Amino acid sequence: MIRNGGAVKRFHTIPTNNEQTVAAHSWGVACIVLDLWPDASVHLLRAALHHDVPECVTGDIPATAKWRFPELSVALSRAETEIEWEIGLDTRLGDKDAYRLKVADMLELLWYCVEEERLGNKNFKEVFIRGAHYLQEIELDEPAEKMMGELIKMEAEL
């Protein structure tokens, strides 16, 4: 099931130039974790690699759907937790690592948006804006703030 989780296609509701799978996304998240926080725990790295595995059952539900229908988000969270327990994954994290995973997850989204925009895909401009806005609402630590600034600069130059 873990391997199948990696095969899930992301962004199925937006036309893309390059398809991204959960495996590619999760690898990107883990790389960002290591780049920003070289002291990252093994548990955080496992969570980075496995955080979207339950999507092999639920599919990749767009964030916009979860925002529009909060009850969907609650049900999905419950389902993902149940799936993780069924397959023996434990992605529960303490506050520090949960923060790091969420930030790395969103920064990976911004990287993907920049890559798509570089290929001329204007569909990802709005996704980038929403993701950047989300991160701007969080108090980022210095490494994350630096990467965020670099991504904003890269996207602005497109």
Tokens encoding 52:
């979207």
Alpha-carbon span 113 to 7, nearest angstrom: 20
3-state class (DSSP) for residue 149: helix
CATH number assigned to the domain comprising residue 66:
1.10.3210.10
- Could you tell me what percent of the chain has a pLDDT over 90? 96
pTM equals 0.95
Residue 91 has pLDDT above 90, yes or no: no
Condensed to tens digits (0 to 9), the pLDDT of residues 46-71 reads 999 999 999 999 999 999 999 999 99
Q: Can you state the angle between helices 95-118 and 22-36, rounded to 10 degrees?
A: 120
123 in Cβ contact with 116 (< 8 Å): yes
Domain membership of residue 52 as a residue range? 2-156
Provide the mean pLDDT of the chain: 96
Alpha-carbon span 13 to 65, nearest angstrom: 11
Q: What is the pLDDT of residue 55?
A: 97
Q: Cβ atoms within 10 A of the Cβ of 43, count?
A: 14
Number of domains in the chain: 1
